[in-house]
Amino acid sequence: MNSCLLDARVAMSNTAVSVVGLSGSLDINTVTDFETLLSDLFKQRRFKIVLNLEKLTYISSAGIGVLIGSIKEFRKNRGDIKLSNVGPEIYKVFDLLELPRLFQLLKTEQDAVNTF
């Protein structure tokens, strides 16, 4: 069984950006952990999020649903969720669902942090 390992770390910047690295599969088996992580960041009033997807190998509709649902709440609080290091397989899913129109996809983690 694949798993999604969540590695949350706070980037050292004056904009209080939280960088979350995801690896493995973000699917029905792991989406609850991901949702809890985003909820915890929200409760901590950390509204500027960069998701580094460099090591993410799969994302299901459940994972996409959490992303879409969460971004609205972060934006209501003058924050955002930006994605970096999106691999070709994950990008295909995002492109198919026209998500690059909703999410800002950046080449590197640092590029994403710098946009805040």
d(CA 55, CA 69): 22
Strand order in the sheet with 80-84: 4-10, 17-26, 48-59, 80-84, 104-106
Binned at pLDDT 50, 70 and 90, residue 5 comes out as: low
Contacts of 65 (CB under 8 A, 6+ apart): 31
pLDDT at 12: 52
What range does the domain containing 105 cover? 4-111
Distances (CA, A) of 12 to 19, 27, 101: 10, 30, 28
Binned at pLDDT 50, 70 and 90, residue 16 comes out as: confident
Q: Return the percentage of the chain with pLDDT > 90, whole number.
A: 77
CATH number, residue 54: 3.30.750.24
Closest CA to 79 of 97, 104, 101: 104
Provide the number of structural domains found in the chain.
1
| 83-100: pLDDT as tens digits | 999 999 999 999 999 999
Task: State phi, psi for 79 to the nearest 5 degrees.
Answer: -120, -160
116 within a domain of the structure (yes/no): no
- Name the pTM for this structure: 0.89
